[in-house]
Amino acid sequence: MPIVTPLTKLLGIRVPVVQGGMQWVGVPQLAAAVSNAGGLGILTALTQPSPEALRTAIRDTRKLTSKPFGVNITLLPSITPPDYAGYARAAVEEGVRIFETAGNNPGPIIKYLKDNKCIVLHKCTTIRHAKSAEKHGVDVLSVDGFECAGHPGEEDIGGLVLLARAVKELSVPFIASGGIADARGIAAALALGAAGVNMGTRFMATVESPIHQNIKDKIVASTERDTTHIFRTLHNTARVFKNKVAMEVVAIERRPGGAKFEDIRDLVSGARGRLVYENGDADYGIWSAGIAIGLINDIPTCEQLLNTLESETEEIIGGLQGLVVSKSKL
């Protein structure tokens, strides 16, 4: 029997799994594969160099799937910010009605999307920020624990506590994000009150993922100890794969007096990180990975992955029912 939650009903998907909007990874071939397999695929707007390029990516995705998919718009701190409004407008004009938002000051973008009758999933790392997003009218919150890849916030709160608080304090459905890569993680999230999960790192190691095979193999060979945090001293913490470049950044940040961004700018450039996925050299630049990396042991197709997650989650949930025994039978 299928798993039915507020998320599956709202989005029209079969499996309560959202593919994370990962920079350089959320492209048409992956988003379409996830959606075709029953989850919600996500295109990453900022992977595209311009709003017009995003239009093309949306059209390319539609050629590959007739199922629902969404677009991620992450608002990043920047001296020269991208044309976020332009990306949102392009996606809406192309008929996209599901969006994942994240980052700083999302209010104006969320208002525009809601004014255009879109469904908005907003990612946040604290209950405080989740409540603020509720006031902006988001439909679903993605509660991102300290285990996640990318930016976990500055309060270092794990998913177990965040989700337990979310179910008590939030009035809209929420999904669990960070540290989830298998059916036990999905079953645990549902038990904690989540309506589904967001998975990023797990989808990096799939056949349809656009990254180099060497990086997929590196993910499979790694353990939960193979990530580290950078930008801690800059109060913009990011969890990344623990490679030579990341450890050099950490060493610079640990110098007496700390580090300025200018000290590490060249090491952490997005261009170098993108080339990791293209040339397969895991030590060439910074690339994101969550501690769920320790749970990934194979490189299936998205269809194989979601079918396995669906059936194993159902089995786990069914097995838990056997733990409840009538007192009269004790």
Domains and CATH numbers, the chain: 14-210+304-321 (3.20.20.70), 213-279 (no CATH)
pLDDT (mean) for 39-52: 98
For the segment 22-35, the average pLDDT, to the nearest whole number, is 98
* Cα three-residue angle 154-158-160, rounded to 5 degrees: 150
Q: Which of the four pLDDT bands, split at 50, 70 and 90, describes residue 210?
A: very high
pLDDT in tens, 51-105: 999 999 999 999 999 999 999 999 987 778 999 999 999 999 999 999 999 998 8
Instruction: Supply the pLDDT for residue 120.
Output: 98
Q: Which amino acid is at 247?
A: M
Select from 58, 66, 63 the least CA-distant residue to 27.
58
- Mean pLDDT across the chain, nearest whole number? 96
Q: What is the pTM of this model?
A: 0.96
pLDDT of residue 61: 98
Q: What are phi and psi of 165, to 5 degrees?
A: -75, -40
Question: Both tokens of residue 3?
Answer: 């798993």
Output phi, psi for 199, to 5 deg: -125, 130
The pLDDT score that the predictor gives to residue 164 is 97
Average pLDDT over residues 238-255: 97
Mutual angle of helices 127-135 and 159-169, in 10-degree steps = 40
What's the confidence (pLDDT) of residue 58?
98
Q: Classify 28 as helix, strand or coil.
A: helix
- Give the mean pLDDT of 105-117: 96
What's the pLDDT score for residue 76?
Answer: 85
pLDDT at position 321 is 86
For residue 168, the one-letter residue type is K
Sign of CA dihedral 20, 24, 28, 30: negative
Does residue 272 have a pLDDT over 90? Answer: yes
Residue predicted with more confidence, 79 or 221: 221
User: Residue 22: pLDDT above 90?
Assistant: yes
* Structure confidence at residue 289 (pLDDT): 97
- Residues ≥6 apart with Cβ < 8 Å to 116: 92
Q: For residue 255, what pLDDT is reported?
A: 94
Q: Is pLDDT of 4 > 80? A: yes
Angle at CA 190, nearest 5°, toward 186 and 196? 70
State the pLDDT at residue 79: 74
